[in-house]
Structure 1
């Protein structure tokens, strides 16, 4: 934190009342109390008379003046047992469509007549994180109906927190993983020079970078990552009105992608617990955490494919012994070398032996084919590659309103391609398009590449928005007054899923994002949806 901002000064005028009107009768104010919207509570002692404070001459002359009298009041941070938090955290992940919201009554509940303060919070769709709690009810109930979740009656109360934090596990690949941290300000006041901290007990040694925050791993506390806004982005604005009277209010928000490497944490299990913080702080206040984590449905580990093949057929060959292999073959066919002698002594014709051998071989290949089909429709079944496109930082922002409107915006976007298949996913050259109310204002090329089996590939590119198409749009002046420019991005990747160079399938991925650029804070936020279409085999 900035040590130059650890002091605050204010001036107070204190009047005298009879009989203490004498100039030497000085009594300082008592019962000092330090409190704020979101900070720890302080308990202050009684004022103590100390030596008069010295003040340097404001003109720069090397002289000082003394105060008439000085008192010292010492205040210490206290933690009340019944005190409620003032911020809360929600969890989400790329492998689960639902968001685990903040806990019910995380920051206290004053009115519980129409809601249940003890019921667990309902799982939410991701887009509801951007709207106030009172506007989430219909979408939450509809989402519970789609996902077959239980809906308590009456519905759970809200969290009632002025600040909420969303921790989203964005990707998990062989060499590392990424998370996205988003701050939401639901209060009516701004947070200037905000700061936050997360405790990641097992993952913090692998911390690499925070792209839109100023992140530092504390040297004395190795499991704590300290986060602040970058220069010019230290202002978390208050909640504002929507674009229309009926639209929900819009929270102030800032977000950043945070990357980690697995070199120093090879045994980390991101999806189970290690990828989520055990403690989160905002402006010195510890936030309430959810009691559960997003559940992963696709992290089952399969053994060696050859071992699975022999287990499914019911046979197991000993690879290191050729003698054992031949013995297993004879046991499989139901014959043995000794039985061959018996056949010879019985004068069976060679034609009959060939027929028996051909039948056994045919049965063996049929079983092999069945096993391959079973494997292909279960373990080896081609799965949809996932593509996520989102802005990670605002590289350049220039706005001049007079005498001529001039606007230059450059956005660095992160494209993440996740391949869940046992074969590689090779995609062709493509282009990311950013539109402003239907008009394309920016394009960025995406170079062709290959994503290895069951891994994730990250790539970044910079988009420069064409200002002439932007300022001539009829929506520009209206959104300029509101202070938020709304864009949409479209990215299409054409590629092939290649399984053992035998099975090939065409795959086309479509990603649509809603991007909001806040002019005041010069920050970019996004909400993306991705869909994949698998075509016929090649």
Structure 2
């Protein structure tokens, strides 16, 4: 009787069954493995996506976003005031004006913004005319024509020794020097300053106002 009373008097806590934390059911193991696989798959997909995006960006920066050199040419020129000039009496020549057309081919995906530029005409090494090129916006993937008007410096052109002979022959050998500076800004990330030098030699035919034996040499530099 005494023993039964003692057993009943034991604390309830002594009858609890405690399962150690180390004991894990097979179902929880499978669930944990699935979560680990999903985590690894997610990391692999993220890494692959970053790699693909980075690869695409590199290709774009090397091709589409790469700043390309514009092409500039002197397409035509007219000189007003030379028609009917008498080689033996140059007094009536009081005003000579040259109108030159310069084409700018912009191969970039952004506009080529011309900030400043100059054009000069040289006759037997003597500069006889010059002009400032106005600010211009050459649109992306297009060819833009710039019209430049230049006033001749009469005293200088009349001082050239071969003027009478050339007027008699009906053609004048001329040289033009064009300097243009501008910039290309691609989506605000890639910015380049472009400096262009264009030197052209040709014969100007007075009668039909055209140029002959046209040869040009251009230099284009990309600057940061």
TM-score by length of 1: 0.32
For 1:496 and 1:352, locate their aligned partners in 2 and report how far apart those are by CA, in whole Å.
52
Structure 2 stretches lacking a partner, 5+ long = 1-26
TM-align CA RMSD: 3.2
> Structure 1: how far apart are the matches of 2:140 and 2:90?
52
- Distance in 2, matches of 1:465 and 1:522, equals 19
Equivalent residues in 2 for 1:130-209, closer than 5 Å: none
Q: Distance in 1 between matches of 2:46 and 2:219?
A: 41
Corresponding residue SS for 1:370: helix
Pick closer, same or farther for the CA change 1:365–1:462 going to 2, 3 Å. Answer: same
Structure 1 position 444, deviation (Å): 1.8
Q: Match for residue 525 of structure 1?
A: 211
SS in 2 for 1:513: strand
Q: CA deviation at 1:501?
A: 2.5
Superposition pairs for residues 173-322 of structure 1, below 5 Å? none
Contact 2:110–2:139 under 8 Å retained in 1: yes
Give the total of aligned pairs: 195
Query: 1:366 and 2:81 equivalent?
Result: no
Select the structure that is richer in strand. 2
Change over 3 Å in CA distance of 1:439–1:369 after alignment to 2: same
SS in 1 for 2:82: strand
Match in the other structure for 1:468 = 155
Following TM superposition, by how much is the alpha carbon of 1:405 offset from its aligned partner in structure 2, in angstroms?
A: 4.3
Which residues of structure 1 form unaligned runs of 5+? 1-341
How far apart, in 2, do the equivalents of 1:425 and 1:404 lie?
Answer: 43
Alignment of 1:426-505 (within 5 A): 426-505=113-192
Choose between structure 1 and 2 for higher RCO, CA contacts under 8 A separated by at least 6 residues: 2
Q: CA deviation at 1:454?
A: 0.7
| Structure with the bigger percentage of helix | 2
Residue 74 of structure 2 corresponds to residue 382 of structure 1:
no
Three-state SS of the structure 1 residue aligned to 2:32 is: coil
Q: Give the SS at the match of 1:346.
A: helix
Sort the Cα spacing of 1:391 and 1:409 in 2 relative to 1 into closer, same or farther, 3 A.
Answer: farther
Aligned counterparts of 1:404 and 1:528: Cα–Cα separation in 2 = 29
- In the other structure, the counterpart of 1:510 is 197
Per the alignment, residue 112 of structure 2 pairs with 425
Offset at residue 514 of structure 1 (A) = 2.2
Structure 1 residue 344, shift from structure 2 partner:
9.7
Q: Deviations over 1:192-220 (max 9, x none)?
A: xxxxxxxxxxxxxxxxxxxxxxxxxxxxx
Q: How has the CA–CA distance of structure 1 residues 344 and 470 changed in structure 2, closer, same or farther, with 3 Å as cutoff?
A: farther
TM-score, scaled to structure 2: 0.71
Larger radius of gyration, structure 1 or 2?
Answer: 2
Q: Does 1:416 align with 2:75?
A: no
- Per-residue Cα deviation, 1:253-304 (whole angstroms, up to 9, x for no partner): xxxxxxxxxxxxxxxxxxxxxxxxxxxxxxxxxxxxxxxxxxxxxxxxxxxx
Q: Which residue of 2 aligns with 1:346?
A: 31
Distance of aligned partners of 1:441 and 1:403 in 2 relative to their CA distance in 1, 3 Å threshold: closer
Counterpart CA distance in 2 for 1:401 and 1:529 is: 29
